[in-house]
Chains A and B, each alone.
Chain A
Amino acid sequence: MAVDGASLDIHPGEVLAVVGESGSGKSQTALAVTGLLARNGTPEGSILWEGREILGLPEHRLARLRSEEIAMIFQNPMTCLNPYLRISTQMIEGMTLNRKMTRTQARSACIEMLETVQIADAGNRIDMYPHEFSGGMLQRIMIAMSLLRRPRLLIADEPTTALDVTVQMQIVQLLEHIRRQYDTAIMLITHDLGLVASISDRISIMYNGQIMESGLAENVFSRPRHPYTRALLDAVPRIDQDEKILRGIAGDPPDPASRTPGCPFHSRCAYRMAPCVEHRPDTLGSREHAHACHLPDET
């Protein structure tokens, strides 16, 4: 896949969390999936969609895939919404354009979808403007819009970061409902480990464009193998535990422009050895749990 040999895979109805700090390349990876990166970056490797190679597909085929099978939602709902148009206008337009549907049919489908994301009084509110909604409601409206096309894959880039905790949980429950109801695969891009623990089946921990550790959520959280994963888990306070001190990770997040022949985390790693600086560690393990580190296991 596009970002420096990072590979990811996701199955229908599965939630894959791509975890990383700023500059870790997690959004880049998502863009690569949708083939958007193809215009400026040059993805190498391969991207398989239902077993077929999509890298190098002609642009019109990619565009169709993007518009019909893959949907994206972002941290800021206003990146997808026009502030000057009613929600109804924005939602219905997409539907009547893509499908043979009358406006009335489209409108009632939209209202139904708004009800699915728990917008009360959707029949009236659909005619309101974006500024008349709270941030959490806009986030849900954006999710509703992205679902209208019944995507197979939903990419959610920091969907709850700007929201209050009470609203975050509403969004988590909504995503959970969507994957159950429609068997949608969800790729969740975030740095929020609490959010990851709430919903993901599998996790990929990224650092500077590379996957440090991946596997089933339970495996990665309860038996973290990579020093970066462990450091990350030690750096967040937990509401259910009394930790005396938090252990921060020394140094700064990676500079995305820098590339090292060694392990990308070596400059901040407490276990650094000579090979870490010079050779990139191989990824060892299975889909259930894998990591890339020179340390022998059980350290």
Chain B
Amino acid sequence: MTALLEVDNVTVEFSLRGGPVPGSPSRDRFAALEGVSLELAERETLGIVGESGSGKTTLVRAIVGMVPIQKGRIVWKGSDLSGTDPDSRRRIRKDMSMIFQNPLASLNPRMTIGQIIAEPCQVHEPHASRAEIRRRVAETMERVGLAPALVNRYPHEFSGGQCQRVGIARALIGRPKLIICDEPVAALDVSIRAQIVNLLKQLQDEFGISLIMISHDLSVIRHVSHRIMVMYLGHVMEMLPSGHLLQNSCHPYTRALIESVPIPDPSIQKAREMRTIKGELPSMRNPPSGCRFTTRCPIARDRCGDSRPALLEAGPGHWLACPYCDPPPGLKTG
């Protein structure tokens, strides 16, 4: 399995006064992302979960080149993105597209649906004829469940679910290899979320796309992803196949997340022992030293604050950054 995308030990820093400023002295900076690595295969869905401010959006913005990285490499099909010339970088970027959380706000209100969907095509394929583009727009609209007859309407005439379909059509029209979805359903009504989740899964099957899916909602992430990455304050805590999440995950933060997800069935939920995670999320600008979860971890010991625990392989495809938690129950030996 060759990786489509490889994120290798990437660090992204921001100026404490706001904005990415690579040149500012280090005491004025903080790392929103520190030493993060991941691999993504073709046709794979990687889900990223973590509390607000854990660096999920920063990570995907670094991948698509929207924020500069201070350390590490981003490798696309074997070639280092930071090393390639602007032209090939642009070509690679055409292979990636993004879908955002707030469907209406991410669409230009003055453009028609057709113009919005066609835009990436016009940027990346300036030689495509108008007729060709029109055909592609109609075809893509149909694929995402929008009637092509709506092509001349404006975003404000659409519901939230329809706007998200427009966002998906726009992301899809350039036939990307990777679509990154940053909280694609958080702003939608419950009955619409399932429609969009199903559509994304179906398009992935059909076109063999890879997906990176960011969500606060662990139930959604588990449902759509092949693998799950758990982030906390800019570090990766655990990464494992989503089928193993309930049985084999063992990082105290992952376990706390799982226990916090309510089950929509009162006879089960009310009987569950809810051990809420104590304390507040520390500030990213002044994070705890060593393991970033120390201040809230139920099993923390003194040594946890000394140095950052390495992300080590705890089982097949299972990476874990805690030396003190119990090993995955599925893997216990003698």
Chains A and B belong together in one complex? yes
Within the complex, which residue of A168, A197, A217, A235 is in contact with B263, where a contact is CB–CB below 8 Å? Answer: A197
Q: Are A218 and B267 in contact (CB under 8 A)?
A: yes
Question: Pick the contact of B270 from A136, A197, A222, A236 — CB < 8 Å?
Answer: A197
Contact status B266-A221, CB under 8 Å? yes
- The 9 A-B pairs with the shortest beta carbon distances in the complex, nearest first, are A194-B262, A248-B194, A248-B195, A249-B191, A193-B264, A246-B194, A237-B223, A21-B189, A235-B194
Asked if residues A165 and B218 are in contact (CB atoms below 8 Å), the reply is yes
A210-249 interface (Cβ within 8 A of B): 217-218, 221-222, 231-240, 243, 245-249
Cα distance, A221 to B267, chains bound together (Å): 9
Q: Which of B218, B261, B265, B274 has its CB near the most chain A CB atoms (within 10 A)?
A: B265
Closest Cβ of chain A to B222, distance in Å, is 6
B interface residues, tally (CB under 8 Å)? 43
Task: Report B147 CB to chain A, min CB distance, Å.
Answer: 13
Q: Which of B142-190 contact A (CB under 8 A)?
A: 159-162, 189-190
Chain A residues with CB under 8 A of B195: 248-250
* Closest residue on chain B to residue A255 by CB atoms: B159
Interface window among B36-44, B71-79, B275-283: B275-283
Report whether A243 and B266 are in contact in the complex, using a CB–CB cutoff of 8 Å: no
- Looking at chain A's contact residues, the main secondary structure is helix
- Which residues on the B side are within 8 Å of A194 (C-beta)? 219, 261-264, 269
- A197-B270, A236-B190 known, 12 other contacts, Cβ within 8 Å: A21-B190, A22-B189, A135-B52, A164-B216, A169-B276, A192-B262, A194-B264, A198-B262, A221-B266, A236-B194, A237-B219, A246-B194
Which of A173, A193, A253 is close to B159, meaning CB atoms less than 8 Å apart?
A253
Question: Is A70 interfacial (CB-CB < 8 Å)?
Answer: no
Binding site for A on B (CB under 8 A): 51-52, 159-162, 189-198, 216-220, 222-223, 246, 256-258, 260-270, 274, 276-277, 280-281
- Among A136, A196, A200, A239, contact of B219 (Cβ-Cβ < 8 Å): A239
B-side contacts of A192, CB under 8 Å: 262
Would you call A169 and B274 a contact (CB within 8 A)? yes
Tell me which residues across on chain A come within 8 A of B264, comparing CB atoms. 193-194, 196-197, 221, 233, 236, 238
Query: Does the CB pair B191–A231 fall under 8 Å?
Result: yes
| Chain A, residue nearest B159 (CB) | A252
B190 adjacent to A193 (CB under 8 Å): yes
Complex Cα distance A194/B219, Å?
A: 11
